[in-house]
Amino acid sequence: MIVIKRASLLRTYLDEETTNSSRVGFVPTMGALHEGHLSLIEGAKKENAIVVCSIFVNPTQFNDPKDFEKYPITIEADIELLEKAGVHVLFLPSVTEIYPNGTGQLPSYDLGYLETVLEGKYRPGHFQGVCQVMDRLMQLVKPDNLYMGQKDYQQCMVVKKLIQLTGIKVNLHTCITLRETDGLAMSSRNRRLNAEERQKAVIVSGVLDRIRKTVQPGPLEPIVSAAEQALKENGFKVDYVAVADADSLELPDEWDGSRPLVTLAAVYLNEVRLIDNMLIP
């Protein structure tokens, strides 16, 4: 595996190593890697001649500076995992490599409704930051295929919108969420949970699974309210629990029994923010 820290060197290397027939797969990450990330890499290896993984904790997508400061950094362990996984290139840039002109005058993106609901509502500016870094990374890597995890469901929809807005020629692959044996969605943030919090965190996936299994045609508000109450009773601070249209994230009042849905939640367990989602059916 080659580790490249400079944007210009990354582009030079890929230009030299790729031909018209060789495909590049890209897995963007913020590090603190786990099996979920490795599953994205495995998917990329099956479909591409060269797999590029990036590790960059993007400051522009953190609306809470304290969250940015506490994000887990495990570079040495991450490099070891990526080498074992067979990644060809690790792009490990500094902030100045990604934002050479600073972060004060970065472009904004017309994300429409996606930026007003759920994560967009509770993390203002977050998705602009996601688009800023993803736009820059895709310009540098120029991947044929992009691999992201379904756990960040709304983020995947935002990146799909970004691809449409910019005209970048890349295929987005949204890969299933990997879970621990007890059902907790794998996440880098799980490292910040102590033993007691880790045991309690699984309640989130349990609540969403209950919605998935019990939702019936008709009004959705009662089942959403019951789920929110269950989380609060177990000590979570709830940003949202929702049942949304799986394609648009619109929040219907009722379900017709056939429209594809997704149930999503974002909660705080003390200082750690956890998100999860499940498709219905």
Report pTM: 0.96
Strand order in the sheet with 2-4: 2-4, 89-91, 50-55, 24-29, 145-149, 171-175
Shared domain for 213 and 93, answered yes or no, is: no
The pLDDT value given to residue 281: 84
| Same domain (yes/no): 154, 194 | no
149 lies in the same domain as 74: yes
CA angle 75, 177, 31 (to 5 degrees): 10
**Interatomic CA distance for residues 148 and 26, integer angstroms:** 9
Domain limit, last residue, from 130, 152, 175: 175
Task: Quote the pLDDT of residue 220.
Answer: 98
Domain final residue pick, 115, 149, 175: 175
What digits encode the pLDDT tens for the residues 52-101? Answer: 999 999 999 998 888 899 899 999 999 999 999 999 999 999 999 999 99
Annotated binding site for (R)-pantoate: 61, 155
Q: Which of 125, 153, 175 is the last residue of a domain?
A: 175
- Of 37, 88, 126, 173, catalytic: 37
* Annotated binding-site members for ATP: 30-37, 149-152, 178, 186-189
CB 208 within 8 A of CB 263: yes
Contact 203, 235 (CB under 8 A): no
Both tokens of residue 245? 């249209």
- Alpha-carbon distance 125 to 16, whole Å? 37
pLDDT tens, 102-129? 999 999 999 999 999 999 999 999 999 9
167 and 197 part of one domain: no
Please give the annotated binding residues, written as ranges.
Answer: 30-37, 61, 149-152, 155, 178, 186-189
Query: Is 281 within a domain?
Result: no
Residues 139 and 241 in one domain: no
**pLDDT tens per residue, range 176-188:** 999 999 999 999 9
- Tell me, yes or no, whether 220 and 101 share the same domain: no
Kindly state whether residues 142 and 255 are assigned to the same domain.
no
Kindly state whether residue 182 falls inside one of the protein's structural domains.
no
Residues 119 and 251 in one domain: no
Q: Are residues 137 and 35 in the same domain?
A: yes
* CATH code of the domain covering residue 239: 3.30.1300.10
Whether residue 120 is found in the same domain as residue 257: no
Which structural domain, as residue segments, surrounds residue 137?
2-175
Q: Are residues 245 and 162 in the same domain?
A: no
pLDDT value, residue 177: 97
Spatial contact of 275 and 266, defined as CB atoms under 8 Å apart: yes
Write the pLDDT tens digit of every residue in 247-263.
999 999 999 999 999 99
DSSP secondary structure code for residue 281 in this structure:
-
Percent of the chain with pLDDT over 90: 95
Whether residue 245 lies inside any domain: the answer is: yes
37 is catalytic: yes
State the CATH number of the domain containing residue 79: 3.40.50.620
